[in-house]
């Protein structure tokens, strides 16, 4: 290291060494001077553009790892990293942050577990050994590589070793000591991470540089809206509302994810945010994944803003061409204050007069092209995302601190968890579940996600329970027909709605007490969780039946998903379920790049831990 420092200084590079304390800075300064290396001191913040050359500048800062910017002739070193001493860093209050890569905990490893060494790649843990090396006796971690090669890592260098974080049901290929494979893999991942980092940097740097509109503090009209809310806010709701208002009234653009279980009051958080923005003369767009949900959200906003001078529109395929043209014109001239719509809102002909807030409900339901458009809007307007079960990438971004996170974990009063049953598809089970719900005056959803055979399934249910009023709903129906069926179901003119996953998000029908999901093994965790959330929206006990053809025939991933869902049946399980999904599917990358499930490269490199510190930082 001393030779490297001398080389950098001779090239007139700028070199900084972060020390945890004045005492450590003094000690390191004396040590460097013994190698005839000149040192200096500086305080935070640093002026990196005008840094002193020809010396190692010592700085007091608890930096855990350094980085190099070779083309800038800049090197930031960390005493913690150089000398293997890990200390907890003080964290900033008020934000949920992700954990940095931690050194491996030997007591948590079993012999044979796969570990990753920073410089040598994947090997298997063989235990700790006490041996003599270079005339000194000490403890070493033994790591076995391909072809029986063995590496001994001193215990003061264990921060270079991490537990393997890939998929548990896929055995990775071990590396060979001295081969180029690991270095090549690291370079590929580094390049991929760099592309991701560039994209994120562009979006979030523009947001950081751009001063957002600082909305005014809540006033008299806002207090009237608050008082018109017919329920008592839960503690989680109150906290989320306060955090959103803090974002809106600051000059930093908002990008907040509100994660709350189904029926926990996320919509009211959006209502308060939308009203605050409209109160200041800006427009609000509410983006939802389905036409039916757009209609219900529009009705909710109209109900909450009744009596206030607010113009609300709903833009989806239920609207005629003439109605759509009128809405588009109203958005452009500013006569429409709030619009609720599907991906139609992302079309090129949609131009807002003064858009101030974009609310996205269940972002995971949108396609890749739609997500790209949403991503670009992040650099321009305040963004509020609502979800019950964030997809792994969205959750990872929030845990990393790229997006702010609010979690509503408090259930409404008298809310009961949905009892969930996993069962083989059986006519008697279906008939019993239907009759029990009908006998207490309730309604049911029967989810069958195949349009081609959905009519046949509805006929079968009619034969099982002839007294029930059965109807079919799916996304390929004409808009007017689908709307009519949904209105009839809401008005309790239909007992059983046989439908596709079109009812997945947001529908609020308190009288629906049972949902039966056919071929639950074909659906994702978030999909099933959202579907289960269509029931249990009252104080009555509700039920969900997950039907599969055979428990033995399920794929390993399907078993994990269903097991995770059964484990998260308690109230407020959405966030826990998302964390399970993060483990099952992997985190992907922050821009939507392949997850470990689809790219072994990402799985086997512990990407964020072992890529070049330059990109990681």
Of all residues in the chain, what percent carry a pLDDT higher than 90?
33
CA distance 122 to 116: 5
Residue scoring higher pLDDT (178 or 340): 340
Helix (H, G, I), strand (E, B), or coil: what is residue 161?
strand
CATH of 419-570, picked from 2.130.10.10, 3.30.200.20, 3.40.1110.10, 3.40.50.300, is 3.40.50.300
Domain made up of 2-83: CATH architecture = 3-Layer(aba) Sandwich (3.40)
Closest C-alpha among 61, 65, 54, 62 to residue 11: 54
206-220, 379-393, 517-531: range with lowest mean pLDDT: 379-393
What does residue 235 show for φ and ψ, rounded to 5 degrees? -55, -40
CA distance 612 to 487: 57
CA distance 522 to 256: 31
Residue scoring higher pLDDT (10 or 466): 466
Could you confirm whether domain 106-181+605-616 is CATH 3.40.720.10? no
Does residue 103 have a pLDDT over 90?
A: no
> Which residues fall within 8 angstroms of residue 488, CB to CB, at 6 or more apart?
471, 494
CA distance 349 to 327: 11
- Answer yes or no: same fold for 220-408 and 419-570: yes
Does residue 597 have a pLDDT over 50?
A: no
Segments making up each domain of the chain, as ranges: 2-83, 106-181+605-616, 220-408, 419-570
Q: What is the DSSP string of 260-323?
A: E-TTSSHHHHHHHHHHHHHHTT-EEEEE-S-HHHHHHHHHHHHHHTTTSS--EEEESTTS-HHH
Tokens of 614: 């330059």
Does residue 265 have a pLDDT over 50?
A: yes
Does residue 87 have a pLDDT over 90?
A: no
Residue 584 has a pLDDT of 43
Kindly indicate the confidence band of residue 456, based on its pLDDT and cuts at 50, 70 and 90. Answer: very high
Does residue 130 have a pLDDT over 80?
A: yes
Q: What is the DSSP string of 404-464?
A: EEEEE-PPPTT--PPEEEEEE--HHHHHHHHHHHHHTT-EEEEE---HHHHHHHHHHHHHH
Taking only the tens place, the pLDDT of each residue in 60-69 is 887 777 777 7
Helices (H) and strands (E) in the chain, counts: 20, 23
Does residue 380 have a pLDDT over 80?
A: no
Residue 508 has a pLDDT of 73
CA distance 553 to 557: 12
The answer, yes or no, to whether the previous bond of 45 is cis (omega within 30 of 0) is yes
Does residue 506 have a pLDDT over 90?
A: no
CA 98, 101, 104, 109 torsion: positive or negative?
A: positive
Does residue 88 have a pLDDT over 50?
A: no
> Is this prediction's pTM over 0.75?
no
Fold entry, domain 220-408: Rossmann fold (3.40.50)
């Amino acid at each position: 290291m001393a030779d490297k420092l001398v080389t950098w200084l001779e090239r007139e590079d700028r070199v900084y060494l972060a020390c945890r304390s004045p005492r450590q800075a003094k000690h390191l300064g004396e040590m460097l001077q013994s190698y005839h290396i000149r040192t200096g001191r500086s305080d935070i913040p640093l002026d990196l553009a005008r840094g002193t050359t020809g010396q190692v500048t010592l700085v007091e800062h608890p930096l855990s790892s350094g980085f190099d910017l070779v083309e800038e002739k800049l090197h930031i070193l960390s005493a913690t990293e150089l000398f293997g001493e890990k200390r907890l860093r003080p964290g900033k209050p008020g934000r949920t942050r992700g954990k940095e890569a931690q050194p491996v905990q030997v007591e948590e490893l079993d012999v044979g577990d796969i570990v990753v060494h920073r410089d040598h790649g994947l090997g298997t843990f063989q235990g700790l050994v006490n041996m003599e090396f270079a005339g000194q006796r000490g403890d070493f971690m033994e790591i076995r590589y391909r072809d029986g090669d063995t590496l001994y890592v001193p215990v003061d260098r264990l921060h270079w070793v991490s537990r393997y974080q890939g998929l548990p049901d896929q055995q990775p290929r071990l590396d060979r000591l001295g081969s180029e494979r690991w270095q090549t893999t690291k370079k590929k991942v580094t390049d991929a991470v760099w592309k991701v980092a560039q994209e994120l940097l562009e979006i979030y740097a523009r947001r950081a540089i751009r001063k957002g509109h600082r909305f005014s503090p809540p006033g008299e009209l806002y207090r009237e809206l608050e008082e018109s809310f017919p329920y008592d806010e839960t503690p989680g709701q109150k906290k989320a509302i306060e955090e959103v208002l803090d974002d809106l009234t600051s000059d930093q653009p908002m990008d907040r994810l509100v994660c709350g279980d189904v029926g926990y009051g996320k919509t009211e958080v959006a209502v308060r945010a939308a009203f605050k923005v409209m109160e200041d003369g800006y427009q609000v767009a509410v983006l939802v994944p389905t036409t039916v949900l757009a209609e219900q959200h529009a009705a909710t906003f109209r109900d909450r803003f009744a009596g206030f001078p607010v113009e609300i529109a709903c833009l989806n395929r239920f609207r005629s061409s003439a109605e759509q043209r009128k809405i588009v014109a109203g958005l452009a001239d500013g006569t429409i204050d709030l619009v609720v719509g599907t991906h139609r809102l992302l079309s090129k002909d949609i131009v807002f007069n003064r858009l101030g807030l974009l609310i996205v409900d269940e972002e995971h339901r949108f396609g890749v092209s739609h997500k790209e458009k949403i991503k670009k809007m992040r650099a321009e307007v305040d963004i509020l995302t609502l979800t019950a079960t964030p997809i792994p990438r969205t959750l990872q971004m929030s845990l990393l601190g790229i997006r702010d996170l609010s979690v509503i974990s408090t259930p409404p009063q008298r809310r009961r968890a949905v009892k969930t049953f996993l069962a083989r598809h059986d006519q008697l089970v279906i008939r019993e579940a239907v009759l029990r719900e009908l006998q207490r005056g309730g309604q049911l959803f029967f989810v069958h996600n195949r349009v081609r055979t959905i009519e046949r399934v509805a006929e079968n249910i009619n034969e099982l329970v002839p007294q029930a009023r059965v109807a079919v709903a799916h996304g390929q129906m004409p808009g007017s027909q689908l709307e009519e069926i949904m209105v009839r179901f809401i008005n309790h003119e239909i007992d059983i709605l046989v439908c596709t996953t079109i009812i997945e998000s947001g529908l609020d029908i308190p009288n629906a007490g049972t949902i039966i999901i056919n071929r639950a093994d074909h659906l994702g965790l978030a999909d099933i969780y959202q579907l289960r959330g269509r029931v249990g929206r009252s104080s009555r006990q509700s039920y969900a039946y997950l039907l599969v053809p055979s428990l033995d025939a399920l794929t390993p991933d399907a078993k994990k998903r269903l097991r995770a869902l059964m484990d998260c049946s308690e109230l407020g399980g959405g966030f826990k379920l998302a964390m399970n999904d993060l483990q099952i599917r992997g985190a992907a990358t922050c821009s939507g790049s392949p997850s470990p499930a689809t790219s072994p490269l990402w799985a086997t490199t512990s990407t964020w831990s072992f890529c070049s510190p330059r990109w990681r930082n």
